[in-house]
A and B are shown apart, each in its own frame.
Chain A
Amino acid sequence: MPKDGGIGASSKRREDVRFLTGAGNYTDDMNMWGQAHVFFLRSDVAHGTLTNVDTSAAAEMPGVVQIFTGADFEEVGSIPCGWQVTDKHGEPMQEPRHPVLAHGKVRHVGEPIAAVVAETLEQARDAAEAISVDIDELPAVVNMKEAVQDGAPKVHDDLTSNLCYDWGFVEENKDAVNKAFDEAAHVTTLELVNNRLVANPMEPRVAIGDYSRAGDEHTLYTTSQNPHVIRLLMGAFVLGIPEHKLRVVSPDVGGGFGTKIFHYQEEAFCTFAAKACNRPVKWTSSRTEAFMSDAHGRDHVTKIELALDADNNFTALRTDTYANMGAYLSTFAPSVPTWLHGTLMAGNYKTPLIYVNVKAVFTNTVPVDAYRGAGRPEASFQLERLVDKAAHELEVDPIALRRQNFITEFPYATPVAVEYDTGDYNATMDKLEEMADLSGFDARRKASEAKGRLRGFGVNCYIEACGIAPSNLVGQLGARAGLYESATVRVNATGGLVVMTGSHSHGQGHETSFAQVVADMIGIDEGMVEIVHGDTSKVPMGMGTYGSRSLAVGGSAMVRATEKIIAKAKKIAAHLMEASEADIELKDGAFSVAGTDKSVAWGDVTLAAYVPHNYPLEDVEPGLEETAFYDPSNFTYPSGAYACEVELDPDTGEVKIERFLAADDFGNVVNPMIVTGQVHGGLAQGIGQALLENCAYDSDGQLLSGSYMDYAMPRASDLPFYEVDHSCQTPCTHNPLGVKGCGEAGAIGSPPAVVNAVLDAMRSGGKDVGHIDMPVTPARVWAAMNG
């Protein structure tokens, strides 16, 4: 019997009422009295020396308030990077200055050169066209392996090369890993590309700077996944505004997928210009600008090798990856190919020896940073493609080879520095096999072949690490931020609650699922709990939402704060009933004295807290409001097994996904409907990466896929009806809810299954090509089939 409220209930998403009826309050919906509009003049060349930027004619254009260039920001800080990676020699990464507006050089197509503030956007745009820009074009570096060759053009003249860092993990294991390869009975090798993606949230980025002369107070309204992080980075490092004079508001945000984590130049510009112009300054990204200014995702080129003994046990793994940073270091870019990628290379397997090498490279392209999964999809893709390739080389069943090498005992310390607390990889694989109807596959394949199509089945496992933590560990790894979360629970006199969470919801449904947790703990109706987020003036310092961390970390902070509320409320209840505090029980929203029929309602206690006439004033303060900060002791480790069945048209190379199955272990689940929705969305993005999406540059650094005419987003008709299960649940052992996180799983777990299925279909047509790169477009499949 499904629950109708509280933890475990598929409560309808309360926020959807406003989203679906046009009542949402997105940043672009906000307009300030007296606001001016900004248009950024962006570079149309990938690499060049800025010899002259002449704004004199433009400044005379109608409606122009003020025009800014890089020279105006010389005294302003660099856009900071939030993570410093140490290379394999113990040296810090190379970290270039990242100006708000280009100065001296332009380094990628789309980099802002000048900004025009005008009465209207069209006037700003007209004036921008009147700015005279002289650029001496330089050769662009786009290909990562070419970029690290001696003599390659340098993206940053003041750095020694285009190599940001050369990271070895774990460096001490390297010799032992190489020895294991020398002694291996079989070695499988795979070279692959993890294609560059553009996140494409439905809502483009928006920033509005507002400044009050009265109190010397700045406000930034922005489409951010973590307003406090923006306040800290922009305030402290770029503009030098103390946090008590800077408020950052992220209202309703229409999707983030990682690309709205980062602090962008446009935010700093609008905040700066609002004071300089003494009026609000608003910028709304066009979709064209989004393609060339939102941080991109993925873009790895990898060689990976697996060593096996004569019994097909995995004995060692080594990888050699080039990771594209783009032209500048976006906020968390250095952490993605290292600590979010190298640490996941054990996957679901007990491979005893692992060595990961990552070379992060600067190129004349848009900065690359975290995108749904961030490092973990790259890890899972290469590993699960490799294991599949090994199975075919060894002529063993791919599922059996995986099962043979599964980690089965927990906790399990991997050779890449993390400890999995719980998991049951055979359970999710059992569930997947049950859903997959493998025995019926031959008949389905024959039916496809009767239509002239090839049918393929592909499977993969995944493990991810969510809720990146604890803060003291990530500090040692180079994070320049803490990774705790905060919550304040404010109980009103009449019993309703407001929870101010440091997490941020940009589509995840926190307003519903977080309310379910608190309501369940107290035993009251969910409607009595309101969730507030996204405003640094209301919410205690929090770290925001990314890395599937919100329920595991933010939810845990909320639980801790609610526990404090309940503890205090019990003291008040004990006083009201003249009983011992130890005898007070809370159930279904009422406090009772154990073993008696004495009872007071939740509302009686909350009223007493604020109207403390009959109250233990000598022992307990009035009021009912508590704050908690929660810093997890470990990551959480969701895992699962996915399968894909495709039909392939050998005449055209077209691939159609017939079935997609996902068996996930997310630990405990608060709202199964929302979890299913999160998996669906993740799968769409994973399948999009596998079949459709490709951010491509030409050798001059021009963006070839700069609009939806050339960048293929997945549409409903590209996707099957998913079969999703999350009944396998091994609760997390170290957070109070036993939850693991579900936001990224679909995007992490699905690409290898798709590609494995396509290769299986091709093999059934007599063509074994070993590997095919994503996106697996019809043109690529046809070329591979006929190569």
Chain B
Amino acid sequence: MYNFDVERPQSIADAVQALSREDAQPLSGGQTLIPTLKARLAAPSVLVSLGDVDEMKGVCMSDGGQLCIGGATTHATVAAEAAAHYPALASLAARIGDPAVRNRGTIGGSVANNDPSACYPAGVLGSGATVVTNAREIAADDYFQGMFTTALEEGEIVTEVKFPIPQAAHYEKFLQPASRFPLVAAFVARFSDGVRVAITGASNDGVFRWSEAEAALASNFSASALDGLSVDSTDMISDLHGTAEYRAHLIGVMTKRAVAAIG
């Protein structure tokens, strides 16, 4: 990697201040950023570590009944502490990467990076969560804007993600055999007023909602309600591990399995 400075702010305000430096880059777990730096594919002048910002850490329930997760909270913490409140989300966190990844990687880092094959974007979009930054609150439907693209402005930090708790939810993923990222995964959440289905791993546009499936499930929440539905493979990822058609097919399989798991 190239040389860079490191800043370790203690507060969100200090972090925002530090990120105003030229070519500054936030570091929140670094499970993508550090390998990128080691490969010399990025050259920030300063890395602003969010790991010491205590106000961005932790899992709690709000008075309004939302699960609030600080942006710098690790996957392992979410897996342990969200389990009682939102088991499907805790299960998603518990299955990201391996223990080393889960003990470093954070929800804010994952959501800010918006890797098209990451797990968290499916959980956030599938739950209809709200992404909270140092400046504003952004609905998940407005936040994810394509592969590695989000509504975040330069220097804006994901400080918290607030999840409404569905009646039931399940995350079903099919692993890419090498990276063990999702080849395709579906997050299905049933709320009193509807169903949300978010798909990750499959699309060239990153995480997306499968609205046809949502409509079908809203009137009949069963795997059979999805029979005959299919996803157009035109915009699906095609690579060494699966064709666009295969991914489009797996969307149906994973969604049905998620629905079946909810019961």
> Which residues of A are interface residues toward B (Cβ below 8 A)?
125, 129, 288, 651-654, 691-692, 694, 696, 704-705, 708-713, 718, 777-779, 782-783, 786
Contacts and interface: CB of A to CB of B under 8 A. Distances in A.
Given A651-B253, A694-B240, A777-B241, A288 B246 contact: no
6 contacts: A125-B40, A654-B174, A692-B177, A708-B179, A779-B242, A786-B249
B157 interface: no
A32 B191 CA distance: 66
Interface residues of B, number: 15
Contacts of B246: 653, 779, 782-783
B179 A709 contact: yes
A691 B246 CA distance: 17
A351 to B, nearest CB: 37
Contact of B178 (A651, A653, A712): A712
A317 to B, nearest CB: 33
Contact of A779 (B39, B178, B241, B253): B241
B243 interface: yes
Interface of B: 39-40, 174, 177-179, 183, 240-243, 246, 249-250, 253
A711 B178 contact: yes
B249 A782 contact: yes
B250 A710 contact: no
B249 A712 contact: no
Given A692-B177, A710-B179, A711-B178, A652 B253 contact: yes
Contacts of A651: 253
Looking at A709, A778, A779, the one whose CB has the most chain B CB atoms below 10 A away is A779
A786 B243 CA distance: 13
Contacts of B40: 125, 129
Contacts of B177: 691-692, 712, 718, 777-778
Given A652-B174, A652-B250, A712-B177, A288 B39 contact: yes
Q: Main SS of chain A's interface residues?
A: loop
Contacts of A129: 40
Contacts of A708: 178-179
Contacts of A288: 39
Nearest to B98: A715
B152 to A, nearest CB: 25
Which 5 residue pairs across A and B have the least CB separation, nearest first? A712-B178, A779-B242, A712-B177, A709-B179, A651-B253
B240 A696 contact: yes
Contacts of A782: 246, 249
B243 A783 contact: yes
B85 to A, nearest CB: 29
Contacts of B241: 710, 777, 779
Contacts of A711: 178
Looking at B178, B183, B253, the one whose CB has the most chain A CB atoms below 10 A away is B178
Contacts of B183: 778
B175 to A, nearest CB: 9
Nearest to A126: B2
A288 B242 CA distance: 23
Looking at A691, A704, A705, A782, the one whose CB has the most chain B CB atoms below 10 A away is A782
A167 to B, nearest CB: 32
A652 B240 CA distance: 16
A779 B179 contact: no
A705 B174 contact: no
Contacts of B179: 708-710
Contacts of A777: 177, 241-242
A704 B249 contact: no
A712 B40 CA distance: 24
B231 to A, nearest CB: 15
Given A705-B240, A708-B178, A710-B178, 10 more contacts: A652-B253, A691-B177, A704-B240, A710-B241, A712-B178, A713-B178, A778-B177, A782-B246, A783-B243, A783-B246
Nearest to B249: A782
A123 to B, nearest CB: 11
A778 B247 CA distance: 11
Contacts of A783: 243, 246
A653 B243 CA distance: 13
A781 to B, nearest CB: 10
Contacts of A691: 177
Nearest to A775: B177
Nearest to B117: A709
